[in-house]
């Protein structure tokens, strides 16, 4: 039995903002196992972003993923956080 992945309510607006400034965005949230929600391509670099609401917390799989990931990744809760992370502001 498969379970639907819960998508945070702010995900659509953050993705729309990133795409509006020319970023490419690939949805990863269906990968599961703690993998971040999206990967963003901007300025020749890739950015892994886990989108959470203002009061959202990482689940255990997400915590494990972030603890073990050897690259760069960030939890973003707002459009401004996502834009700062990719260096757009």
**How much of the chain exceeds pLDDT 70, in percent?**
94
Instruction: Please check whether residue 2 lies inside any domain of the structure.
Output: no
Number of domains in the chain: 1
Position 36 scores a pLDDT of 97
66: domain CATH number is: 3.40.1350.10
Instruction: Report which of residues 6 and 65 the model is more confident about.
Output: 65
Instruction: Indicate the pairing of strand 73-76 with strand 45-51.
Output: parallel
The pLDDT mean for the chain works out to: 94
Instruction: Please check whether residue 57 lies inside any domain of the structure.
Output: yes
Q: How far apart are CA 56 and CA 20, in angstroms?
A: 25
**Tens digits of residue pLDDT in 1-29:** 344 567 889 999 999 999 999 999 999 98
Q: How far is CA 72 from CA 20, 22, 49, in A?
A: 23, 21, 9
Cβ-contact 38, 25 below 8 angstroms: yes
Structural domain of residue 36, as residue ranges? 11-85
- What's the sign of the alpha-carbon dihedral 69, 70, 71, 77? positive
Instruction: Please check whether residue 4 lies inside any domain of the structure.
Output: no
- pLDDT category at 59 given cuts 50, 70, 90 is very high
Q: Averaged over 56-81, what is the pLDDT?
A: 97
Instruction: Please check whether residue 5 lies inside any domain of the structure.
Output: no
């Amino acid at each position: 039995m498969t379970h639907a992945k819960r998508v945070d309510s702010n995900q659509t607006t953050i993705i729309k903002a990133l795409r509006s400034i020319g970023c490419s965005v690939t949805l990863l949230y269906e990968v599961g196992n703690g993998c971040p929600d999206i990967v963003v391509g901007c300025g020749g670099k890739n950015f892994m972003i886990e989108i959470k609401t203002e009061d959202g917390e990482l689940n255990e799989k997400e915590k494990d993923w972030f603890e073990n990931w050897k690259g760069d990744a960030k939890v973003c809760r707002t459009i401004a956080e996502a834009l700062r992370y990719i260096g757009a502001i």
